[in-house]
């Protein structure tokens, strides 16, 4: 099994309720030549169903990284993170908080709940592309996940 194939099999789970942000994130990944699959959960509830659920909605395998927005209707990002860490199957899953908020309490709580990284989405799209590129490279290529 080659490293590249292994890399191609890795996918990103994007948890984001804002369709603009979904598109912008995907465009940024494209622009950065990161061609890995991106699966999208439109809110926290869906994200949990996908990650923890079984059967039809449940994912066959875990993503390489979860890009998690915080401010979402129904179940917010921090609650999603808490559940991920609580679950035996997903507790070592890399989770990167990708959000507009720079509130200290969000950052602190995020890390407390076991976020692997905290990235603030810049308004400047060029900066955003730069951030996403680094993210993708890091988590999809460099990082060795726990199995």
Partner 1 sequence: MWEPKTYRLFQLNTWNIALIYLVMGLLWILFSDRLLEQLVNNPATLTRYQTYKGWFYVFITAVLLVVLLARYTARITRMRKEFVERFDLYRSLLEQGNQVVLQVDERRNFIYTNPAIREILGYDEDELQNLDDLEAKVHHSDIDRFYQIRDVYEADERDHDPFKKQLRIRRKDGSWRWFQMILTDKRSFEHIESRLLLVRDVHDETIVFEQLRESQRRFEHLFQEAPVGYHSLGSDFRIIDINKAELELLGYKREEVVGKMTWADLIATEDHPTFERQKKDLLEKGRAENLKYTIVRKDGSRRTVILNAKAFFDDSERLLYALANVVDLTDQLEAEKKLGDAYRKLNYHVQNTPLGFVEWNDRLRVTEWSPESESIFGWSKEEVTGMLVDEWRFIHDDDAPLVAEKMTEMLAGGELRNVISNRNYTKSGNVLYCEWHNSALLDDQGRLVSVMSLVHDITDRVRAQEKIRQLNRSLEDMVRERTRKLELANKELETFAYTVSHDLRAPLRSIDGFSRTLMDQYQDQLDERGIGFLKRVRNASQRMGLLIDDILALSRISRIELNVEQVDLSSLSREILQSLQEKEPEREATVDVDENMVVTGDARMIRIMMQNLLDNAWKYTSRRDHTRIEVGSRKENGNTIIYVQDNGVGFPMKYLEKLFLPFQRLHAQDDFPGTGVGLATVQRIIHRHAGAIWAKSDENEGAVFSFFLPDKSV
Binding footprint of partner 1 on the chain (CB under 8 A):
18, 20-21, 24, 27-28, 70-71, 99-104, 121-126, 128
Write down the least CB distance from residue 101 to partner 1, Å: 5
Backbone Cα Rg of the chain: 14
Write down the least CB distance from residue 89 to partner 1, Å: 30
Could you tell me if 30 and 130 are in contact, meaning their C-beta atoms sit under 8 angstroms apart? no
Pick 86 or 125: Cβ nearer partner 1 = 125
Pick 12 or 131: Cβ nearer partner 1 = 131
Pick 18 or 32: Cβ nearer partner 1 = 18
Could you tell me if 110 and 78 are in contact, meaning their C-beta atoms sit under 8 angstroms apart? yes
Please provide residue 93's backbone torsions phi and psi, each rounded to the nearest 5 degrees: -70, 130
Question: Helix 19-31 and helix 125-136: axis angle, to 10°?
Answer: 70
Write down the least CB distance from residue 22 to partner 1, Å: 11
């Amino acid at each position: 099994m080659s490293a590249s194939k292994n890399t191609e099999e890795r996918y990103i789970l994007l948890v984001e309720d804002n369709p603009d942000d979904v598109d912008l994130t995907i465009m940024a990944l494209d622009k950065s030549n990161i061609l890995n699959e991106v699966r999208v959960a439109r809110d926290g509830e869906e994200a949990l169903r996908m990650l923890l659920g079984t059967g039809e909605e449940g994912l066959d395998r875990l993503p390489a990284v979860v890009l998690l927005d915080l401010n979402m209707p129904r179940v917010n990002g921090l609650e999603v993170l808490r559940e991920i860490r609580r679950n035996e199957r997903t507790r070592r899953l890399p989770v990167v908080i990708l959000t507009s908020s720079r509130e200290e309490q969000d950052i602190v709580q995020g890390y407390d709940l076991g976020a692997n990284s905290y990235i603030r989405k810049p308004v400047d799209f060029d900066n955003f592309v730069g951030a996403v590129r680094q993210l993708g490279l890091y988590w999809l290529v460099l990082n060795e996940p726990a199995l």
